[in-house]
Amino acid sequence: MFKIAIIGDGYTAAELLRLMSSHDQLEAVMVTSTDNIGININRLYPQLRASYDLVCQATDLDLIKKQCDAVFLALPHGLSVSMVKELTQAGLKCVDLGADFRLKDVTIYEHFYEVRHEAPELLNEAVYGLPELYREKIKMAQIIANPGCFPTSAIVPLAPLLEANLVEAHGIIVDSKSGVSGAGKAMKSTSHFCEVNEGIKAYGVGTHRHAPEIGQELSRAAGQKVGMIFTPHLVPMNRGILTTSYVQMCPGVSASQIREALEDRYRSELFVQILEPGVFPNTKWVYGSNYIHIGIYADDESGQVILVSALDNLCKGASGQAIQNMNLMLGIEEATGLRSLGVHP
């Protein structure tokens, strides 16, 4: 058993614990907190009672280094950098579920997140944690930048098409809808019941922090800077992201090539499910699971491609993918603890 610490006690921390309860090689031995020190995790998340009796404690890196093999950092941006630097120097492997290591350009990070990055030298050492794209690098990494939920939903369907030069690298539109848990557990007026229920709204229009992350990875796939618009929306549901991406086929490319490219790329990937022609995903199908479902529409006459993806923002969009990455880093079979299917209805 690998001994694991979780730094943070929000929704993604609770999801890590839920998923690890059925993992036979990862043992959560410590959960740290700032606001709930001395409180049993079961009081915060009663669904964990049957598997855990952990008391939240202050973050003590020396204790973590003595007792643990690896660490999940489930913290707001700006808080992970110094901890990751110290923990990795001591030989521990770290998966950061926040944004501190996702962007390779420190100036872009500091612009969008409005904090100074304390260890920019670690950005090139950190591996972007999309296993379906970077599996071999993840296996050798000590720092994983766990991707954002919106970026995962856009990059997985789009990257193979850009890599194969099947779609244009400009004019890309990514339109996403997210459940309220994506905003985290902290109280915000914008996520109050009365603000969210029976309504839908766009937010972060033109300024959302996940836009440069999506652009970075799509540009890498295309081999050139992509032209992209990303707009997220908040919808009145607990979990889930539905992303619709619009791209144009390159001249001479057929609709059948679009489907073939995605089916070929992900045929051996357990967690990426390419749906049959005419079938498009529902967030309910992936609720509570580490799967992403992708539906494809491509039209030969117009050259238009529409990709619709659905994932659970707390699983494949966060904690499930984090465990997938940790499995790879520690030499554990990748799908361990993550094979459970979605909960529907």
Annotated catalytic residues are 149
Half-sphere exposure of 141 (CA within 13 A, CB side): 30
How many whole angstroms separate alpha carbon 221 and alpha carbon 128? 13
**Residue 85: which of 127, 145, 143, 144 has the closest Cα?**
143
Q: What b/e sequence results for 159-178 when a residue is b if at least 16 CB atoms lie within 10 Å of its CB, and e otherwise?
A: bbbbbbebbbbeebebbbbb
How many whole angstroms separate alpha carbon 24 and alpha carbon 269? 22
Per DSSP, the three-state class of 345 is coil
Beta pairing partners, 298: 305
- Answer left, alpha or beta for residue 293, where phi above 0 means left and psi between -120 and 50 means alpha: beta
Per DSSP, the three-state class of 144 is strand
**Residue 325: which of 131, 93, 96, 143 has the closest Cα?**
131
